[in-house]
Structure 1
């Protein structure tokens, strides 16, 4: 019992690692397009001054498509389980990413980018799986920082792939110059290599990821069985691999439990639980969190999308007659995709370090809500200052100051997104609505991710046409200010651990009421029920050393026999108790709870379990 309590206070590191491996390919695929989207759009014979508009619309197409299916992915994970939906979404995203890399015209690029959005449903599902793995509030900052950490690590590799591997026939003629496929599809190579990362994630998830949805944990999982068989020679374990969870508390077959083997109960079925409604999903705090998360996604994603376009846009000299400082200017950095990819890679490395070493400590010390408030006040300042970097005299000065602003913005984003996710998770009424709530968050925030880049791209195009590039950046600053307002109405909720305890207490009270009713039954009825339980092969809950105690049970002994010891009762010990064995095998005073005539997942196979 003490070991189980200690394990409950620790992170499930192995399962979180496997979930991170599954997640890794998606940020690589999503961020790899940032450096080369302007070049891809230009290759479709789009004028330079229209590239920003089409890039914004392409990003909006991705996000709007994600909005259409976000709730559906969440509801499907509530019904079919987290694991199958994660694997399906990874497969669909991999296929659509390859098709995007094969685009040869603007229409096909829009279609395949929209397909990526439709299949990108893992954001909410993975958040839900993490919340189900780690309900303890004190462990949530570390647990919920792992997936953003994976995103930041992916952000290191993604821009590097996208910036350095496009147009391979031109950049590496000795290797790819003679391959017609890469001459015809200059943007395919990064996506083909990323597909190998997807395959690794899909394989790891299929073989080793355990289901976290409570209702589906008892389902046979042949992927786990295969994974156990493959790793058995390496681990040296000779036990028979199982196609399901090995938690000792889970029944061997879905729908069967100790109710069959507990005396006096027989086949008593619990009434079906009512599915939670939409009112439980959209609580007041959940609604505020959804608004905060949507605005956060709107301006943060738009900044990253617009930044590559701004840095790719030609430089405008401050001596140009059309420049009237301090506000009227319309220049960029004039650098290519490889240089942009290098800057984004440094951006990702910094984010990874902050996510791993700084965020968990700060969040525990200052609280997730306070961290979120500080970040929302910093975003507008960064956006206001960004366009003025184009006025610096040299390339190194422009890129150096921009890198500093990117690091400040990245620091705030690394704190803001997991903090918002934790607050949203803890605002859910029950775990049963968490998958749907995260699906709603994915869909609603997708509206922000669509509107943000579209708004930024449109205002950038309009701004450079009239000579005011600051318009697009100051528009993002205004959005960030509006998004900061609802943050001050948020409240840190307690989370699920306390809620689960309350539910346990309610169930305990229900059992006490049932016990009271049982104690009011006549002795003849009690003896009849007791006999019928024994006829099913269940032992009575008596001291095996003294058969004379097999009469009517007292109310206290009846309670002990009708219900298993609570897992947090540290003074109880579990022992095997084969039927017919008494003194010398079973400790004095032990009470048999289950005859275990049917095998259980503990693999005891000895015919009984007692507690003392």
Structure 2
């Protein structure tokens, strides 16, 4: 195995542009995860549920609304980025996220929250565009492992930030039976207790958009030479701060090589095509051989997208319903080992946000340290399979932590053991989830022909969004039914079974299917 060392992977790495794109990447996970800390209380405030068990069902509807709209918008956003450039598409997507977040924060009924989640999916198609952009920034294969792992790292970091901010800025945990109409006050943030968090996060995203406008370079091959006024302003700022700034293509003086009718790049592109240079007279007809575009959906691509579909299926279920499991009211009288359980751990928004942000941060740190090492000692596919093999065990163990609460288990005198086990369980799920997502993105990227990567990424995200639409609908209903019947743990064990299926599916993948 001739994998590059960690130092070789870092040598010549495009640090500055990767930092800017990763900063923009933060927008979606912050927006996506911020509501998880308080969604249990928000749904209860709409007065549409008869009991805690039904909250999962309505949470699933909100998650599915976002994913379904993203399913329809991902490919059009990818095509728009091909036509007008990666940079404008990314910046507009971030602004769309900020707008829909403010609307979500001021939602006073379930319908308004549902519409805002649809808008969030429609107005932001950045996931496939970001993947394509990262591949166009990190063009050398030795840089791609770190570059694509950073996508998952930033997703994890964004989830930490979103969960932390929501947990600390949304003060609703002191009223589990919240009634919005009972809040007779003129205070805006008492009347709309979920608005402040969303306004703060929207302002953060707006600031990130400004940074992107100033410093992000266009990566599309056909559009990178087009004048970028934002980048020109950013270059002036960098020069004032003492940094070196490269000459931009549109700033090249007339008469230089960039102005010639045929430049080196044009000659190279001619050589890449399958034309045969021949001399012939005006009376001769020589057929010109034109290279046909390869099919997008080859079997290696189909296998990878299918595997990604089911990974996304399990990930969204854990991401959406674990915070609700934490927040549900504790019901120790319903517990009887091993099958009978109802309710959850009774966590507040602050406690939920702290657990999600802390375990997410653990995942980010460990992945950043270990991913280059894993990339050195294991092939991409081997490391991928190891993570998939461990995740079902973690899902299986998750509901069993409920039997360690002192209200049920007299062998424990405090919640310290339960809390520790939850942090360990969630920390490992965060770590292996981040690793597997990075590896999955890289497996798809390397199996895709270069000219079709943007389109394939668009279709991949659309299929992923379809998975994220189906999963919450199904599992919201499944969790509500099993929780109501007093066997809530079964829904998590079924999820473990789906994860076992994903592990088996990984054996049809082959690293020999890669493109350079």
In 2, the alpha carbon distance for the partners of 1:210 and 1:273 equals 36
Q: CA 1:36–1:276 in structure 2 vs 1: closer, same or farther (change >3 Å)?
A: farther
In 1, the alpha carbon distance for the partners of 2:511 and 2:308 equals 15
Counterpart selection for 1:385 from 397, 401, 405: 397
Which residue is 1:365 aligned to? 377
Write out per-residue CA displacement over residues 39-87 of structure 1, whole angstroms, 9 at most, x where no aligned residue.
1101101332311110011111111111111111112222222111111
In 2, the alpha carbon distance for the partners of 1:240 and 1:490 equals 41
Shift of 1:450: 1.9
Q: CA 1:260–1:473 in structure 2 vs 1: closer, same or farther (change >3 Å)?
A: closer
Shift of 1:120: 2.6
Q: CA 1:193–1:170 in structure 2 vs 1: closer, same or farther (change >3 Å)?
A: farther
Counterpart selection for 1:311 from 326, 336, 347: 326
2:418 is equivalent to residue 398 of structure 1: yes
In 1, the alpha carbon distance for the partners of 2:265 and 2:493 equals 67
Shift of 1:288: 0.7
Shift of 1:256: 3.5
Counterpart selection for 1:40 from 33, 39, 42: 42
Which residue is 1:484 aligned to? 503
Counterpart selection for 2:439 from 372, 397, 419: 419
Which residue is 2:462 aligned to? 443
Which residue is 1:87 aligned to? 91
Map 1:132-147; keep pairs closer than 5 Å. 132-147=136-151
In 1, the alpha carbon distance for the partners of 2:36 and 2:11 equals 40
Map 1:197-208; keep pairs closer than 5 Å. 197-208=204-215
Shift of 1:186: 0.8
Map 1:193-272; keep pairs closer than 5 Å. 193-235=200-242, 242=248, 244=250, 252=258, 256-258=261-263
Map 1:334-349; keep pairs closer than 5 Å. 334-349=346-361
Larger helix proportion, structure 1 or 2?
2
Q: CA 1:468–1:80 in structure 2 vs 1: closer, same or farther (change >3 Å)?
A: same
Map 1:487-526; keep pairs closer than 5 Å. 487-493=506-512, 498=516
Map 1:55-70; keep pairs closer than 5 Å. 55-70=59-74
In 2, the alpha carbon distance for the partners of 1:274 and 1:27 equals 44
Which residue is 1:407 aligned to? 427
Shift of 1:312: 1.1
Which residue is 2:21 aligned to? 19
Q: CA 1:260–1:349 in structure 2 vs 1: closer, same or farther (change >3 Å)?
A: closer
Shift of 1:412: 1.0
Q: CA 1:245–1:189 in structure 2 vs 1: closer, same or farther (change >3 Å)?
A: farther
- Rg (Cα) greater in structure: 1
Which residue is 2:169 aligned to? 165
In 2, the alpha carbon distance for the partners of 1:245 and 1:53 equals 56
Counterpart selection for 2:103 from 71, 83, 99: 99
In 2, the alpha carbon distance for the partners of 1:423 and 1:217 equals 27
2:481 is equivalent to residue 462 of structure 1: yes
Q: Contact 1:351 / 1:410 at 8 angstroms: preserved in 2?
A: yes
In 1, the alpha carbon distance for the partners of 2:10 and 2:514 equals 16
Q: Contact 1:63 / 1:117 at 8 angstroms: preserved in 2?
A: yes
Shift of 1:287: 0.8
Alignment coverage as a number of residue pairs: 473
In 2, the alpha carbon distance for the partners of 1:241 and 1:51 equals 56
Q: Contact 1:315 / 1:390 at 8 angstroms: preserved in 2?
A: no
In 1, the alpha carbon distance for the partners of 2:163 and 2:340 equals 31
Write out per-residue CA displacement over residues 243-269 of structure 1, whole angstroms, 9 at most, x where no aligned residue.
74889xx9635x84338999xx9xxxx
2:77 is equivalent to residue 73 of structure 1: yes
Q: Contact 2:359 / 2:426 at 8 angstroms: preserved in 1?
A: yes
Q: CA 1:17–1:236 in structure 2 vs 1: closer, same or farther (change >3 Å)?
A: closer
User: So what's the TM-score if we normalise by structure 1?
Assistant: 0.72
Secondary structure, counterpart of 1:399 in structure 2: helix
User: So what's the TM-score if we normalise by structure 2?
Assistant: 0.85
Which residue is 1:155 aligned to? 159
**Considering only aligned residues, what root-mean-square deviation do their CA atoms show, in Å?**
3.1
Q: CA 1:275–1:67 in structure 2 vs 1: closer, same or farther (change >3 Å)?
A: farther
Q: Contact 1:138 / 1:364 at 8 angstroms: preserved in 2?
A: no
In 2, the alpha carbon distance for the partners of 1:79 and 1:261 equals 20
Which residue is 2:284 aligned to? none
Map 1:520-535; keep pairs closer than 5 Å. none
In 2, the alpha carbon distance for the partners of 1:481 and 1:407 equals 20
Secondary structure, counterpart of 1:282 in structure 2: coil
